[in-house]
Amino acid sequence: MSNPIPSRLAALRQAMQRHGVAACLVPTADPHLSEYLPAHWAAREWLSGFTGSAGTLVVTATDAGLWTDSRYFAQAEQQLAGSGIALKKQKVSHAPEHLQWLQQHLGDGEVLAVAGDSLSVAARRQIERLLSEAGARVRTDLDLPGEVWTDRPPLPRAPVFEHPAGYPGATRAEKLERLRAALRRQQATHHLVSSLDDIAWLSNLRGSDVECNPVFLAHLLVESEDRATLFVDRGKLSDALVVALSADGVRIADYATVTDALGELGADARLLLDPARVVCAVADAIGADATRLEAANPSTAAKARKSEPELEHIREVMRRDGAALVRAFRRLEERLAAGMHQTELDVDALLREERSAQPGFVGESFATIAGYQANGALPHYRATPEAHSTLQRKGLLLVDSGGQYLGGTTDITRVLALGETTAEQRRDATLVMKGLIALSRARFPKGASGPQLDALARAPLWACGLDYGHGTGHGVGYFLNVHEGPHSIRPPVTGGGLVPLEPGMITSIEPGLYKPARHGIRHENLAVVVQADQTEFGEFYAFETLTLCPFDRRALEPGLLNPEERAWLDDYHATVRAALAPLLEAADLAWLERHCTPL
């Protein structure tokens, strides 16, 4: 089958010529600036053929480039072949990022087009500032990809449902009142929320408009009095749900009318919005007489700090999820021992089968990454029926997977030794384990942020001249997005803000090491920030590990672990055994016992 990408680019260039546009920027974004997109807004994927979750496409009359990070270099090279689009590697020395490239290639009077429903207010300001130095300008009133995308998928219409009583840490009315208290402190009369996970959390509603993320398409306009408007497709809501929302002061309006409502705000309105979380197409509709206040959504930080009732549900979910993984890994091990043909796809199916048998299971939290040997070196690898590997009784299998449960969201990576391993593989896996243990054992003062702790996980690798190209930790939602802000654990970024880690925040701890064409290592647990000590130097915090599943010690070289590291791993496995044993029996329990014995 011929590659459709060149003809799609040609159609886009014709549209650019009609409108007098020199360049078109196509980010990976929707009107809610989501990380993962409904198919209706996957314009960058449609135009480039690149299916990774992060990437930016730039097209001019003569050039086309796709910028993405090191997680996707190998995938992008393969998917862009023959498309006429060059791979542009992000965060590589002496290689310009896409905005710098545009600044260098656009001249006086030339125009860059970006669809206004896929660009934040803050991002537009940055682009305008950079292009003005070259005499160029940006237009956000043109959706050129939309003009040429003739078979664009419709908007999703999945039902919206209430997060069942007993699971949310607070009622919808309580959350809205806390938000209004924050608005009063900032002297705001209205607050626009466009980020889908914030809306789902505030409303105690969930949906399935985005694959693996239990959110729904909506905007929320909250007033400082007891009123709020949820802009959503009415057909997604049952009559009973509309009544329940009305009882909490939330009325329903059509999804597309949010701009009309913003345009009606008068001179007495003081509207709070987050310029990094609202697209300019929506913000541009705000009435000219209204006062705009810009700050982070108060709900983002509140959502990140899980309450104790929420944490209790999460701890139980971790037990159930861990037991499901034990059953799946035991079955995989027995199938291989019996000589059965198994592929990376079978690993995915096993995990799905065992998780779906757990109480409160709703779906996967992301597409499973099951990478055998060299495929494990691709951080965001995904096996497909057309391209996957057969497992053998040797080497390493990296399995990164997660589940969405009514009581929480899981994300875990384990590296399994399927048979004989090399000294290099065991050394690499142990160095990564040393990094996970170092960060898991950390004590840090109140006010410390993820970028200040990131080096703890990298130090054992750095000592050997090794490193990895992704962050060490991301926030995780509560039956919400598997990637959640505002906190993260990653190297410092010039100009980037430092978000303090606070009690109740959940983060992944996932150092890795990737050797192309050989193997990949990543160990990952989820942990929650807890209070540790109060000393004369102030308050100190620590991590409580939440994930409960054995590490495969056959992939490690125990002699490389110092006594403190060995003790941590033995203590962790003792905790795992105690938590999971009551949920397992027979062969599954025996497998657990075998993998949790002390080093």
CA pair distance 555, 569, nearest whole angstrom: 14
CATH number at residue 260: 3.40.350.10
Q: Which of 253, 273, 299 is the last residue of a domain?
A: 299
pLDDT tier at 91 (50, 70, 90 boundaries)? confident
Rounded Cα distance between 30 and 43, Å, is 9
Between CA 4 and CA 46 the distance in angstroms is: 9
Domain boundary at 299, 325, 348, which?
299
pLDDT of 378 strictly over 90: no
Q: Assess if residue 199 is contained within a domain.
A: yes
136, pLDDT greater than 70:
yes
Using the structure block, give the residue that is written with the tokens 């206040």: 293
Between the alpha carbon of residue 375 and those of residues 348, 391, 429, 453, 471, the distances in Å are 15, 11, 16, 29, 20
Instruction: Please tell me the distance from the alpha carbon of residue 400 to that of residue 525, in angstroms, as a whole number.
Output: 11
Q: What is the pLDDT of residue 494?
A: 78
One-letter amino acid at 191 equals: H
Of 79-93, 200-214, 303-317, least confident by mean pLDDT is 79-93
Residues 508 and 459 in one domain: yes
Q: What is the pLDDT of residue 75?
A: 87
DSSP characters for 266-310?
Answer: -TT-EEEE-TTTSBHHHHTTS-TTSEEEE---HHHHHHHB--HHH
pLDDT above 70 covers a percentage of the chain that reads 100
Residues 361 and 393 in one domain: yes
Residues 430 and 576 in one domain: yes
- Helical H runs in 384-535? 423-440, 450-462
The tokens for 405 are 């449960």
The answer to whether residue 504 sits within a structural domain is yes
CA distance 213 to 158: 12
Dump pLDDT digits (tens) for 215-242.
Answer: 999 999 999 889 999 999 999 999 999 9
Helix (H, G, I), strand (E, B) or coil at 240: helix
- Structure tokens given for 497: 């803000």
Question: Residue 529: is its pLDDT beyond 90?
Answer: yes
Half-sphere exposure of 437 (CA within 13 A, CB side): 23
Does 74 fall in a domain?
yes
Is 171 found in the same domain as 144? Answer: no
Instruction: Check: CB of residue 209 under 8 Å from CB of residue 156.
Output: yes
> Which residue, 481, 477, 534, is CA-closest to 305?
477
pLDDT by residue (tens digit) across 505-516? 999 999 999 999
Q: What is the pLDDT of residues 31-47, one digit of tens each?
A: 999 999 999 999 999 99
Average pLDDT of the segment spanning 135-147: 97
Same domain for 198 and 140 = no
Q: Is 407 exposed, middle or buried (0-12, 13-18, 19+ CB in 10 A)?
A: buried
344 belongs to a structural domain? yes
Does 334 map to a domain?
yes
pLDDT at 497: 80
* Paired strand residues for 59: 24, 64
- Domain final residue, candidates 148, 171, 198: 148
The answer on 393 and 368 residing in a single domain is yes
| Same domain flag for 286 and 334 | no
Helix, strand, coil percentages in the chain from 3-state DSSP, rounded to 5:
40, 20, 40
What confidence score (pLDDT) does residue 70 get?
A: 82
Structure tokens at 32: 């809610």
Q: For residue 153, tell me if it sits in a domain.
A: no
**Would you say residue 71 has pLDDT above 90?**
no
Under DSSP, is residue 206 helix (H, G, I), strand (E, B) or coil? strand
Query: Is 466 among the domain residues?
Result: yes
Helix (H) or strand (E) holding 403: strand 403-405
- The rounded distance, in Å, linking the Cα atoms of 2 and 320 is 46
Q: What average pLDDT does the chain have?
A: 96
Are residues 523 and 463 part of one domain? yes
Angle of helix 344-356 versus helix 308-337 axis, rounded to 10: 130
154 located within any domain: no
* 293 in the same domain as 318: no
Count of domains for the chain: 3
User: Looking at residue 522, which CATH number applies to its domain?
Assistant: 3.90.230.10
Does 115 share its domain with 24? yes
Q: Tell me which residue range forms the domain holding 93.
A: 5-148
Inter-residue contact 442 to 529 (CB < 8 Å): no
The rounded distance, in Å, linking the Cα atoms of 108 and 131 is: 9
pLDDT at 110 over 70: yes
Q: 417 pairs with which residues across the strands?
A: 396
Does residue 1 register a pLDDT over 70?
no
**570 shares its domain with 549:** yes
Q: Are residues 463 and 506 in the same domain?
A: yes
Pick left, alpha or beta for residue 197 (phi over 0 → left; psi -120 to 50 → alpha; otherwise beta).
alpha
pLDDT at 374: 95
Q: Over the stretch 453-469, which tens digit does the pLDDT of each residue have?
A: 999 999 999 999 999 98
